[in-house]
Structure 1
Amino acid sequence: MAEHHWVSTTIDSELPPFAVQAGHDSDGSPIFVGRAYHNGDMLVAKIVPNKGQAYVAWGGEEVNKHDIEVLTGHNYHWVPDANGAVPAGAVACGQTSLGETLYVGRGYHADSLTPGKIHPSQGCLYIGFGGEEVTLTNYEVLVRNY
C-alpha cells in the first residue's frame, strides 16, 4: 500500500498541485486537507487559502497554524461513519503524543463542511470552527482507493 503524500509548506505559499479538497467554509471558500504539529500531536488541519489561514482543533480551541503539510494526490473519497469508528483504508494524519492514531474526517457545522481529527478513543470527530473545538459524532472519513 502506497503512503500518502504530505507536502510541507507555509500558509503564505500557494497550495501544491493536486491538493485534496475537504469541503467549504460557511462563506463558500474551499477548504483543503492538511496537518500540523501542536503540543506533541500531529493533527488534521483545515486549510482555507482564500483567507490565508490554517487551523487545528486542540484543547477546546481552534488554533491558528503557519507551518503545515498539505495532502496531495488522487483517488480519495469520503465515507460516512460515526462515534469514533473508521473504515478500512481510512487516512491517518498522525498521532497523539500518547501514540493514538488520528484520522482525517469532515463534518457539517454552521453551513460549513470542515475537516478535522477523528479521535477513536474519544468516539468523535473534532473540528475547529469560530475559534472553538467542535465535537461531532456523525461525520465522513477520508479513504483512498489504491
Structure 2
Amino acid sequence: MVLQWEPGTQYNIGDVVEYEGAQYKIIQPHRSQSDWAPPATPALWGRVPESAWEGEKHQQHQEGGYQPGYVQPQGGDQKPWNDQSSQQVQIQHEERHKPWGELDDERKKQLEIGGGLLAGLTALGAGYFAYKEHEKSEEEKKANVWAFQNWLHDAQQRTEAFYRDGPRAPTTWVLVHGKNIPEGAIQGGEEHGQPLYICRAFYDGGIMVGKASSNYKKGAVIGYKKDEIELDTYEVLLGDMRGLRWVDHSGKLNVDGLGYRPVEAGRENDGTPIYIAQAPHKGGLHPGKATAVLDGAYIAYDGEEKKIKEYRVLCWA
C-alpha cells in the first residue's frame, strides 16, 4: 500500500509515497522534514512515471500502429518549455547521454512541449534563470537544463544502486540533499576541527569538485569563476582510503608526472577533466579541484575561489 508522504517520518530503501497526485520512490534513506517534500528534494526522491503505477490506463497498445514516445499535447496554443506543469514525454536511456545540441529539431520540440525538461527546471528552482543565467540564449538554457537533469538522473540511479546492492567499486558517488552527509564519506580536509568532505555537483554545464560540511548553509560549496557557489543538491564521495593516497604536486597538474593515477571527479563545460585536490589555507585543509589548465589547485573559501600553488592530488593507490 502506498501511503501519503508526511514530515517527521523515517523513510528507507523500497519505500514509495504519494504526494500531490504523484508517486515517488526513495533514493536516499532519511527522516523527512516539512521543507523536504518529494518534488523539492530530487536527491532524496525519484518520481515514478505515471505509466508505472496507473495500470491499464497507460498500457493501451495499438497492434501494428505507430506509438510515439510522447503524448501529443492538445490545443493550438502550447505553453513555453519552461512553463510546463507535467511530463508527458518519455526519455530513453540512450538519449540521456547525448548533449542537447546532438538531438534533432523534431525531438527537441517533443521534449519542450511534452515537459521533457521539467525535472531539471524543478530541481534547479524557479529563480535560477533570473539570477544565474539571464545572459544566456534560450537554446543555451535548454541545453543546461537538459544536461543538469541527466546528471541528476544518473546520480539518482547510482545512489539507489549503492543503497540497494552495496558498493561495487572502491569509491562511490552518492547523491545528497542538504546537510545529510552519508556514513562512509571520505574526509578531504578539515577546518576549525570539523571534517570537510569531498563533493561534486553539476553547475553551468560542467561537474565541479568542492567540499561538503554540515556547517555549511546549504551543505556544499564549489568554486567557479572566482566565486564560491552554495549548493544543496550534490554528490559526496564514499569509499575506503586504504585504496587511495594523496600525492604532492604544484602548479598545473601533470597527470603523467604524479606516479599514480588520479581520481577523475568531473569535467569543465569544455570537457577538461577535473581531479580532486587538497590544499592548505588559513589554518585549514580544503578539498578543491586541479586540472591540466589551472595553475594550481582552486578551492572555495569565504565567498571566493582561491588559487593555491602547492597542493595534493587524490590518486588510486
Q: Please, which runs of 5 or more residues in structure 1 have no aligned partner?
A: none
Could you tell me the TM-score, scaled by structure 2's length? 0.43
Corresponding pairs, count: 142
The alignment status of 1:70 with 2:242, answered yes or no, reads no
Residue identity matched to 1:131: G
Alignment CA distance shift 1:3-1:76 (3 Å)? closer
Match of 1:11 in 2: 178
Greater fraction strand: 1
Q: CA RMSD in A?
A: 1.5
Task: Classify the secondary structure of the residue corresponding to 1:121.
Answer: coil
Match of 1:47 in 2: 212
Distance 2:281 2:177 in 1: 26
Distance 2:228 2:222 in 1: 6
Deviations 1:45-85, CA, capped at 9 Å, x for gaps? 20012445310000101110110101011122211111122
Does the aligned pair in 2 maintain the 1:30–1:50 contact within 8 Å? no
The alignment status of 1:89 with 2:261, answered yes or no, reads yes
Task: Classify the secondary structure of the residue corresponding to 2:252.
Answer: coil
Does the aligned pair in 2 maintain the 1:62–1:130 contact within 8 Å? yes
Match of 1:115 in 2: 287
Q: Please, which runs of 5 or more residues in structure 2 have no aligned partner?
A: 1-168
Which aligned segments of 4 or more residues in structure 1 are displaced greater than 3 angstroms?
Answer: none
Task: Using CA pairs under 8 Å that are at least 6 residues apart, name the structure with larger relative contact order, 1 or 2.
Answer: 1
Residue identity matched to 2:173: W
Does the aligned pair in 2 maintain the 1:23–1:32 contact within 8 Å? yes
User: How far has the Cα of 1:3 moved from its partner?
Assistant: 7.1
Task: Classify the secondary structure of the residue corresponding to 1:106.
Answer: strand
Distance 1:41 1:9 in 2: 18
CA radius of gyration, larger in = 2
Distance 1:55 1:120 in 2: 22
Deviations 1:5-44, CA, capped at 9 Å, x for gaps? 100111232x22211001112x221100010111111111
Greater fraction helix: 2
Match of 2:309 in 1: 137
Distance 2:199 2:311 in 1: 17
* Fraction of identical pairs, as percent: 29
Distance 1:34 1:112 in 2: 17
Residue identity matched to 2:220: A
